[in-house]
Amino acid sequence: MADEREAMTKRPVLPYGHQSIDDDDVQALVDALRGEWITQGPAVRRFEEGLAEATGAKHAVAVSSGTAALHLACLAAGVRTGDVGMTSTITFVASANAVRYAQGRPVLVDINPETGLLSNADLEAKVADLSREGKKPKVIIPVDFAGGVANLPKVRQVADGVGAVVIEDAAHALGATYEVDRETFRAASCAHTHMAILSFHPVKHITTGEGGAITTNDDALYQELVDLRAHGMVRDAARLERPDEGPWHAEQRTLGYNYRLTDFQSALGASQLAKLPRFVERRREIAALYDAAFSRAPLSGQVTPLKVRAGVASSYHLYVIRVTGATDEAASSRRLRLYLALRDAQIYAQVHYFPVHRQPDFVRAGHGGGEFRGADAYYAGCLSLPMFPAMTDFDVARVVDVVGTTLAS
């Protein structure tokens, strides 16, 4: 027993997510740092062009974080004091906080517990509730969860009915695709939305350290986003109110922010972007290994992997299982036991996410509470297992072994 415990402590740590940085990425950073530009320069534009090509969108605007992307998208959509923005209650808090940053009011929407994606029925019901109050949502932010893609055409249909702007939160879904009428579309392509946002945090599909982007096919929104990310400053002579002031002259057109991404971060992002197909392919291979293991005894029935919506090819930012139980309380207890057993084995799983409607700050501000049966049922047993491209098949087997040993006992 002592020898087994010692061997366990020597096993490498497996986090739930991790960046994949190789010599090409390091060289791209070194080249950028030795170049003429390290803040905003030509590498930013190259990265944006690469993102537009990768997603299929017309424009991409690189910014300092996914949260900054959400904030600017809400501002560009016209969210102002008192305006309503709707998003999923199972998401990172930034999706809802962005509405609050713009002085709007977030209205949270329940999810389908089997997929983790926004419930279209609850969205329609809450839009109808708002209409009875004489209010309409200014923005709707469907969240692409764990690498799956929300039902964007349906969300757009609801949004068009009330004149709302749709912002796809695609932070989890770079590289994912979805089908509509047998035609394939890419996440963040804005084929069924007005804007989409991406995140390049180290646990995402590609990384710039911290960073994000907004994609859009709308020229006016694109220009608004470019202005907003750089203090609202304008240098184009054709857009200046005082064009004869001098060649040095710039004007603040609107209240903007310093949400710019640096050239060296963009150089890293462009290097990472070239590897995106390989990264996504490996994530899908890992997911297939997990799926196979959890479909067989003794684990079938003990855990239920998150379902991928029909017609979607997930890019598996996360691999989420739901630990089963006779009640939510029983599932939660078993989930805690499994989490601790994995941790003892140097495997660091995570929970995505504690529902936004339960977050203390949202409750105190009057944005929380209410009934969210799907979200609460999902949260009771959800657990994100390690998922990143550098994982080996042995790593997957190691995780599965601990899950099986723990839940079978």
Q: What confidence tens digit (pLDDT) does each residue in 318-362 have?
A: 999 999 999 999 999 999 999 999 999 999 999 999 999 999 999
pLDDT band, residue 10 (cuts 50/70/90)? low
Residues 6+ positions from 10 with CB-CB distance below 8 Å: none
Angle of helix 152-162 versus helix 120-132 axis, rounded to 10: 10
Above pLDDT 70, what percent of the chain? Answer: 98
Q: 261 is written with which tokens?
A: 């991404």
Rounded-to-integer distance, Cα 387 and Cα 352, Å: 13
Above pLDDT 90, what percent of the chain? Answer: 93
HSE (CB half, 13 Å, CA atoms) of 109? Answer: 31
Domain residue limits, the chain? 2-12+276-408, 23-272
pLDDT band, residue 298 (cuts 50/70/90)? confident
* Mean pLDDT value of segment 199-224: 98
Asked if domains 2-12+276-408 and 23-272 share a fold, the reply is no
Q: Using one digit for the tens of pLDDT, what is the confidence trace for 184-197?
A: 999 999 999 999 99
Is 2-12+276-408 in CATH node 3.90.1150.10?
A: yes
Q: What is the pTM of this model?
A: 0.96
- In angstroms, what CA-CA distances link 18 with 22, 168, 252, 386? 13, 24, 40, 9
CATH topology for the 23-272 domain: Aspartate Aminotransferase; domain 2 (3.40.640)
Q: Using one digit for the tens of pLDDT, what is the confidence trace for 369-393?
A: 899 999 999 999 999 999 999 999 9
